[in-house]
Structure 1
Amino acid sequence: MQENRCGCGALLFRSAAGAIAGQVDIKCRRCGTVNSIRPIEARQHERRERLSGEDACGFRPKR
């Protein structure tokens, strides 16, 4: 289980690895800060898709 905490140290929630599929906004019960939590895995997956195939800027390294 992964613990997700606010900047003030209060426990916001616990989750299994990969349990969060999209952005979650949760308000801290202690300090009132709204915390936005996004999954790391999804961002890495999107990045790999963008880098595969033709380069968008047209740059081709010399061989």
Structure 2
Amino acid sequence: MKRQFVSFEQYKKKALQDPEIKKSYDDLAEEFKLISDQIALQKQSNNKNKAITTQQSNS
């Protein structure tokens, strides 16, 4: 028997049709948004620090 490839998006779409899974997914959305925002701020801060370091080493 040959298995058919299922992309993550296809799997997610099918899984979220289950009301229990959908509720859990939605309940975690805010937490994942906060984590995503924290990561973005850290990246932004790191980029600023690299720019400052580069400017200082070129002086």
Band the TM-score falls in, shorter-chain normalisation: 0.3 to 0.5
Query: Relative contact order, CA 8 A, sep 6+: which one is greater?
Result: 1
Answer 1 or 2: which has greater strand percent. 1
Answer 1 or 2: which has greater helix percent. 2
Q: TM-score, normalised by structure 1?
A: 0.32
Structure with max Cα Rg = 2
Q: TM-score, normalised by structure 2?
A: 0.34
